[in-house]
A and B are shown apart, each in its own frame.
With several copies, the nearest count.
Chain A
Amino acid sequence: MKIAVQSEPFDFGAEAAGFASGHDDQGAVVTFTGIVRNTADGTLKQMRIEHYPGMTEKALAAIAEQALSRWSLGDVLVIHRFGDLAPGEMIMMVATAARHRKNAFEAAEFLMDYLKSRAPFWKKEILSNGAEWVAAKEEDENSLKRWQ
């Protein structure tokens, strides 16, 4: 299990390849990567990600442990950045390895659903004409019900 909370960029290709290699007992690896999406009118200058140092690492580890106890998984990876990110930059990734694809997919979706609404990160869009906190979506809160 690897959990990282960092301001620096991560090398998605190297992380994904490293995670997927060296398993001959796990047949399925799923990765999810979150990318800073520009606004429709292209006005996003930066996505500023605030977090709660100390709690963030604990919350991510707890979510990963929950996934490991719920599905039969070979490994779990979570990397999440904070600070100022430009459009197109990668915010975070999760990866899961399992014997069968259903577990790998479900666990990755579970990690994402919990991470979205239960890990202490807050996004603020720095736009060319102002700045705005990203509001939590009811849809994201509803996604958690699937796992309860």
Chain B
Amino acid sequence: MDVLYFAWVRERIGLPKERVDTNATTVAELVAELRAREDRYEAAFADLSALRVAVDQDLTDFDAPITNAREVAFFPPMTGG
């Protein structure tokens, strides 16, 4: 699936988007996999309460299933308007 990063999450991880092959079935499992990769992922995902997640462009939470997801995005709380 595609994993997207926005705002300071993008800056910490150092890229806006990457292809991830994973057996993770929930967002939380995907996060655990990513955190284990490298320090920059660990730094980005250190405080989940500061993060929001969208699966296939719908806001959801970290328990959400991702088995059939095409796109998972991580970002800080939005600041539109």
Assess A/B contact in the complex (Cβ within 8 A).
yes
Q: Is B75 engaged at the interface, CB distance under 8 Å to the other chain? A: yes
Bound complex: CA A136 to CA B51 (Å): 11
B68 within 8 A of A: no
Give A50 to B8 CA distance when docked, in angstroms: 11
Interface centre among B6, B7, B58, B79 (most CB of A within 10 A): B79
Assess whether B78 is in contact with A120, with CB atoms less than 8 Å apart: yes
Name the residue of chain A whose CB is nearest to the CB of B7.
A122
Least distance between B6 CB and chain A CB atoms (Å): 6
Contacts A55-B73, A120-B6, A122-B75 hold; do A115 and B59 have CB atoms under 8 A apart?
Answer: no
Q: In the complex, which of the residues A55, A80, A135 contacts B57, with contact meaning CB atoms closer than 8 Å? A: A55
**CB-defined contacts of A118 to chain B, threshold 8 Å:** 59, 78, 80
B58 neighbours in A (Cβ, 8 Å) = 55, 58
Min CB gap B49→A, angstroms = 12
Chain A count of residues within 8 A CB distance of the other chain? 27
Q: From residue 92 to 148 of chain A, which have CB atoms closer than 8 A to chain B?
A: 92, 101, 112, 115-124, 133-136, 141
B residues in contact (CB < 8 Å) with A: 4, 6-8, 54, 57-59, 73, 75-81
A-B contact list, 18 entries, CB within 8 Å: A52-B73, A54-B57, A55-B54, A55-B58, A55-B73, A91-B81, A101-B81, A116-B79, A117-B77, A117-B78, A118-B78, A119-B78, A120-B80, A122-B7, A122-B75, A122-B76, A122-B78, A136-B78
Residues of A within 8 A of B (CB): 34, 50, 52, 54-55, 58-59, 80, 91-92, 101, 112, 115-124, 133-136, 141
